[in-house]
Amino acid sequence: MPKQYKYKDWWEGKICLAYSSLSYNSKELPEPIIVDWKDFAKGDVKKIQKKQIELVQHKIESKSDELQQKFYDKFERSRLKKQFLGEEIRQIKEIFVGNLAGGGDIYFTTNWGISFEKRDLWDIQAYFKKVIKAGAESNCHYMQSPECKYQEANKIPFQIYAEVLWDYHEFLVAFKKQIENKIATLKEKKVTEEKNPYEHIFVNVHAYKFFMKLKENTVKSSTYVANYSYIYHKLINKNLGAIWSTVRPSDFCKFLETEMEVAFSPRKLPYNNSNTNSAAFNILLAEYKNDIEKNNT
């Protein structure tokens, strides 16, 4: 009857599972004892497989945390943050689905400055395609005991590497979305703060701000009727269209009376083209014209 191995034999590195490749120097180590599940008692198989899952999960979590922390550090120092973030995401996609044809046995990454043996990268890409993308079942049977001496030092199994990269990809995508949402919120807040308070008079908030600047720079108590007349006709002119074309002089006078506390009797605004006001108008127009026209929808 073949020898039945125990969990302890595997954990202490006395035997190696046949479900992953081994690496060793035959001059330094004896030939490994390679076994599969049929060489264990049923209870020991379940115990080993449970431990393998724990080891794999711990390795994925620790490597993912390490990658994320490095990203935070680099992102903080980067002067081209948006470009850096985009390149990180593209680099992961390159590893998962990049073309490996030609170029020898070594593959050099575009942005990370690291290299892969192509056979390892083929395994990573195959795992991504079958497990991560297509949803094929996977297991942790490839995980040897940490005490196993027949594995390459510091080399991460390709299954774990693929899972770590995918976790990093999802982290980066979520981080990018978080930034985009923050920017969108700030833009929305700015729009809300600059809401047009008199939408029935002015075509947008920039037109209203233009009016207030003109009022501040041109209206005098002794000539306010002429000043407001000048402003009205200039703003409603079809070449600018800062005031809605449906706003009549009497409507504008009513707005000035109720909102600006300016008395008009009668409610008329005869055309006025004062040279005194034109200098201030032209200076302010250069500042507001594009925004008025761009946001006049």
Q: What is the pLDDT of residue 153?
A: 78
Output the pLDDT for position 123.
94
Closest CA to 160 of 89, 54, 86: 54
Residue 269's nearest CA partner among 225, 238, 236, 237 is 225
Residue that wins the pLDDT comparison between 270 and 8: 8
Specify whether the CB–CB gap between 192 and 233 falls below 8 A.
Answer: no
Phi and psi dihedrals of 212, rounded to 5? Answer: -65, -35
User: For 106-147, how does the pLDDT look when each residue is reduced to its tens digit (9 = 90+)?
Assistant: 888 888 888 888 999 999 999 999 999 999 999 999 999 999
Q: What is the pLDDT at residue 272? A: 64
Q: Cα(95)–Cα(165) distance, rounded to whole angstroms?
A: 9
Task: Give the global pTM.
Answer: 0.63
Q: How confident is the model at residue 267 (pLDDT cuts 50, 70, 90)?
A: confident
Neighbours of 263 (CB within 10 A): 9
| Average pLDDT, rounded, for the chain | 89
Q: At what angle do helices 205-218 and 275-294 cross, to 10 degrees?
A: 170
Short-list 71, 133, 140, CA closest to 97:
133
pLDDT at 188 over 70: no
Residues 6+ apart with CB under 8 A from 124: 95, 96, 116, 158, 161, 162, 165
Listed by start position, the domains of the chain span 7-188, 205-294
Contact 267, 254 (CB under 8 A): yes
Main-chain phi, psi angles of 77, to 5 degrees? -85, -20
> What is the radius of gyration, based on Cα positions, of the chain?
36
pLDDT tens-digit series, residues 202-226: 999 999 999 999 999 989 888 888 8
